[in-house]
Chain A
Amino acid sequence: MAAISREEVAHLARLSRLAVTEEELDRFAGQLDVILQSVARVGEVAAEDIPPTSHSVPLTNVYRDDVPQPSLTQDAALSGAPDAYEGRFRVPRILDEEE
């Protein structure tokens, strides 16, 4: 049985904000199925009582002194923007016309 269907891949691509093509969906569905069936082997390990490791360095929170420091200038921060307007990032519309 396939671990993942073409429809699921399409749904995940939407969640991931990837406008994948039909051709990519066909290709990825098969490839992702092979990958997911291989990685599903982690399920073979009896690990119920084992704590998870998110990170190899045993740290919780790292704080620094709350001292103002120089940061990027506005020009530098906007230097890579695909579209800037009056010192701000210009974005496409975020609401539908009717909203």
Chain B
Amino acid sequence: MSDLTRKTAVELRALLDAKEVSAVEVATAHLDRIAAVDGQVHAFLHVDREGALAAAKRVDAGEITGPLAGVPIAVKDVVTTKGIPTTAASKILEGWKPPYDATIVERLKKAGMPILGKTNMDEFAMGSSTEYSAYGPTNNPWDLGRIPGGSGGGSAAALAAYEAPLAIGTDTGGSIRQPGAVTGTVGAKPTYGGTSRYGLIAFSSSLDTPGPCARTVEDTALLHAAIAGHDPRDSTSIAQPVPDVVAAARLGLRGDLTGVKLGIVKEFTGEGSEPGVLAAFKESLEALVKLGAEVVEVSCPNFQYALPAYYLIAPSECSSNLARFDGVRYGLRAGDDGDRSLEEVMSLTREAGFGPEVKRRIIIGTYALSSGYYDAYYGQAQKVRTLITRDFEAAFEKVDVLVSPTTPFVAFPFGSRTSDPYQMYLADLFTIPTNLYGGPAISVPCGLSEGLPVGFQIMAPTMADDRMYRVAGALESAIGTFTPPAL
């Protein structure tokens, strides 16, 4: 039954309900697929065969039921899993086994979802290609010589390679959506505060948002519903009911968008975007118009400052958050010869444990927060953040959602953007405004450019995650899904 790996979560649940397959068979099929192809893809940093099979057995024994019970999942390695190695793709956490589960992992376990393993990423979620993983990059299943996006390239590639039907990602500046776009999969960043950050290894706490990844819109919505909702252990978690994203996705899949207003952002001129990306976006927009949607141009004049503001705010927060890696309580300790001071050991530990992009961002953040520069950099970036939020709020008075390409370019070849870090940052041009605002956004496959997938991004108002799922479902109903060449 190796074709079980080609099924969606919805299809797998139907087979499980009909008792045509067991949860153990489903988990085994995916574990075998990982064993067969992950040597080429390298989506996983750790595979937990025993744990996944034990969870599947509990579902087969009838101990756990529910809409995703028995559907296996891959989890990004920045999310803590009790007793299962969690490294955030960094040498500084090599071999670390967390003593606790993240809230979203607890919810996956309660939902009866076998966790297949932990997926590769850019170190501490800083990057757009997985090339900054300390354990080597993940290869894009569409073309193994190209990046799978980042930071959550492992989760996206695991879906595209049929190693997992569902995956967890985290999105600070586009780390769910951009990998989704370049691997032809779906990825959603929920409203900030809509999903718990408890157990997420912190990068930029005011932006980090865990979210669902899948191959279809409905599967993404089901996973969204399984992990979202208030968590008292995360003080920024929103104590409101989760919008009904599953119903919205199903409504959208019926293919009717009558009365829905889609906003295109005047300031996203397309400059710097590949022609094939713009063409696929335009065709998708036309397809949505055929379903009854109306397209309105809106102006968001401060979006042009989103990238600079983000690359001050995120490094500033990271320089503070990553201070916890001090070689004392967990993780690596380097240079402790019994003679060196704590400070020397700390500096040697961090030097040995962090990769180049993490070091760059810590140094930039330290700079932006230092006295004399604080007002001009961090303080000013926070004001720009207010203006970007106002742009969104004004736009959402005129339209229901905003749409754009997810990323300006398709999957690029390895090594083509690592020498100039700012070129890598440009991958996040369209995804970052949403993170600064805090609203939800989703990337849906919308076509191919030179044989490589293009993503369509839908951004919605805060706590209106359901709106983007409706449009996403409608787009999928019009355009379909995309299958990479066989590995």
Task: List residues of A whose CB falls within 8 A of some B CB.
Answer: 4, 8-9, 12-21, 24, 27-28, 31-32, 34-36, 38-45, 47, 50-57, 59, 62, 64, 72, 76-77, 79-83, 89, 91-94, 96
Contacts and interface: CB of A to CB of B under 8 A. Distances in A.
Nearest to B345: A92
Contacts, number: 184
B331 interface: yes
Contact of B462 (A36, A53, A56, A64): A56
Contacts of A24: 356, 359
Interface residues of B, number: 73
Contact of A20 (B236, B319, B343, B351): B351
A34 B426 CA distance: 13
Main secondary structure of the interface of B (DSSP, over half): helix
Contact of B360 (A32, A64, A91, A93): A32
Main secondary structure of the interface of A (DSSP, over half): loop
A12 B329 contact: no
Contacts of B342: 91-94
A48 B366 CA distance: 23
B363 A17 contact: no
Contacts of A52: 379, 382-383, 385-386
Interface of B: 96-100, 192-193, 206, 232, 235-236, 238, 302, 305, 307-309, 311-312, 319, 323, 326-333, 336, 338, 340-348, 350-351, 354, 356, 359-360, 362-364, 366-367, 370, 376-377, 379-387, 389, 420-422, 425, 436-439, 462
Contact of A76 (B99, B232, B307, B332): B99
Contact of A94 (B232, B319, B341, B436): B341
5 contacts: A35-B422, A38-B311, A44-B305, A55-B236, A92-B342
A38 B99 contact: no
B370 to A, nearest CB: 8
A36 B345 contact: no
A19 B422 contact: no
Given A45-B302, A45-B387, A83 B336 contact: yes
